[in-house]
Amino acid sequence: MAIITTTLTMPVTGERIHHASDLELARAAAAGDSAAFEKLYEQHHRRVYSLCLRMLGNGTHAEDLTQEVFLQVYKKIGSFRGDSAFTTWLHRLTVNQVLMHFRRRGVKLEHTSEEGDFTNVVDTPLQSTRRISMVDRLALEKAISQLPPGYRTVFVLHDVEGYEHEEISSVLDVSIGTSKSQLHKARMRLRELLTKK
């Protein structure tokens, strides 16, 4: 496929950076324009970091993984064609990096332990009418970080990031039924964690 050489070879400088679209910045970065790459980082690094933080539950690991993600962005930016939004492309790359991180560490998402994870959590009986109070954001973030990796991954992708079960099943290579089941279990665990006295 032919490239638009004029766009690629002209660096995106100064005022143009401020108003350049993600596609323009990506093309410039692919051509070696470091200012364009830095701009992409400025615009997107928080979202990448937040996703890593919530999936991994650990700030240090999340920063390390964010670093790896942007390194992959730099290496693969030439393959971004603008077929999808840059955020979609970046998001998918981030999720893949998180999953590879889990695999490298032998974290088995599909074998989530059902026992012994929450020995301190009050098991809310089916018939209890107790409700969680107004959800405290910090308490919710902490509770998410306490979920087992499999539950946490599906919950973050679905409820926080807005993925559909079809996309989750494709990304995680599980059935749609498994994705739905994991999501429900994650939500119920969060409820238990948030009602703990």
Partner 1 sequence: MVCKQCQELISEYIDGGLELGEQSNVERHLAGCEPCRAVRDDLLQIVHFSQQLPVQSPSRALWPRISADVTELQPSLWTRTLRSLAGFQALKFNFSVPQLIAGAAALAIIISTGVIISRRDNGPAQLAGVSAVTPSDVTPLSQADLQQLEKQINQLSAAVEQRKEAWDPELRTAFERNLLYIDQSLVECRHQLKDNPADNVSQELMLNAYREKVRLLEGFEKF
Partner 2 sequence: MVYKSGHTRHTTRKRSIQFCLLLFFCFALITVSADSQSRFERTYTPRRAAHLTISNVNGRVNVVAWDKRTIHARASSASYVTIQDRVIGDDITISTKRNLRLGRADFEVSVPPETSITIKNIVGNIELRGITGHVSVSSIDSDVRLVKVNSSAVDVLVTSGDVFFDGELRDGGSYSLQSMKGDLDVTLPSATPFNLNARALSENINLGSFLSSLTGSSRGPKGFSGTYLKGGCRLTLTAYAGRILLHKK
Q: List the structure tokens of 181.
A: 């089941």
Question: For residues 189 and 195, what is the distance between their CA atoms, to the nearest angstrom?
Answer: 10
Residues that bind partner 1 (CB under 8 A): 1-3, 5, 8-9, 30-32, 34, 37-38, 41, 45-47, 49-50, 53-54, 59, 62-63, 66-67, 70-72, 74-79, 126-132, 134-135, 137, 140-141, 144, 155, 159-160, 162, 180, 183-184, 187-188, 190-191, 194-195
For residue 173, the partner it binds in partner 1, partner 2, none, with Cβ less than 5 to 8 A by kind, is partner 2
Q: CB of 97: closest distance to partner 2 in angstroms?
A: 12
Which CB atom, from 82 or from 177, has the smaller least distance to partner 2? 177
Spatial contact of 41 and 63, defined as CB atoms under 8 Å apart: no
Nearer to partner 2, 174 or 190 (CB): 174
**DSSP string for 3-30:** --HHHHHS---THHHHH--HHHHHHHHH
Residue entry with tokens 């494709």: 170
Residue ranges binding partner 2 (CB under 8 A): 100, 103-104, 108, 173
Q: What is the DSSP string of 71-134?
A: HHHHHHGGG--SSS-HHHHHHHHHHHHHHHHHHHTT--TTS---SSS-TTS----TT------S
Q: With respect to partner 2, which residue has the nearer C-beta, 62 or 174? A: 174
Q: Which does 101 bind (CB under 5 to 8 A by kind): partner 1, partner 2, none?
A: none
